[in-house]
Amino acid sequence: GQQVMQIPQYQHVQEGEDFTTYCNSSTTLSNIQWYKQRPGGHPVFLIQLVKSGEVKKQKRLTFQFGEAKKNSSLHITATQTTDVGTYFCAGPILSGTYKYIFGTGTRLKVLA
């Protein structure tokens, strides 16, 4: 079946360092979304990418969608303690259903 993998599974960084998580799908995605889940919280939508090769920025966060629409990345510049949480990518399969496949997630810990 379709799988969406993320690496790394865990990442500890010192505050101020950069962080990147990578998302890889076994199938082509029509679009990809990114979510953040704070410890003890629920996933919150960050952004959606639709076009092949698309790059979007939100302040210190940069999101990319691969040319083949099978991979994506999230890069955080100069991490802050507020960036702590688990970052998930998610994409709908092309079956015409409303089925979002979530990645395995990357848990980020920022050390002050």
Partner 1 sequence: ETGVTQTPRHLVMGMTNKKSLKCEQHLGHNAMYWYKQSAKKPLELMFVYNFKEQTENNSVPSRFSPECPNSSHLFLHLHTLQPEDSALYLCASSQELGLATGELFFGEGSRLTVL
The residues of the shown chain that bind partner 1, judged by CB under 8 A, are 30-31, 33, 35, 41-45, 48, 50, 88, 90, 92, 94, 96-105
Residue 47 beta carbon to partner 1: minimum distance, rounded to whole angstroms:
9
> What are 75's two structure tokens?
């890069």
Whether residue 110 contacts residue 15, with contact meaning beta carbons closer than 8 Å, is answered with: yes
Whether residue 79 contacts residue 108, with contact meaning beta carbons closer than 8 Å, is answered with: yes
Which C-beta is closer to partner 1: that of 58 or that of 80? 58
Residue 64 beta carbon to partner 1: minimum distance, rounded to whole angstroms:
18
Residue 9 beta carbon to partner 1: minimum distance, rounded to whole angstroms:
10
Residue keyed to tokens 């890889």: 24
List the beta bridge partners of residue 32: 49
Which C-beta is closer to partner 1: that of 74 or that of 90? 90
Residue-wise DSSP of 12-69: EEETT--EEEEEEESS--S-EEEEEE-TTS-EEEEEEE-STT-EEEETTEEEEE-TTS
Residue 28 beta carbon to partner 1: minimum distance, rounded to whole angstroms:
12
Which C-beta is closer to partner 1: that of 19 or that of 35? 35
Which C-beta is closer to partner 1: that of 40 or that of 59? 40
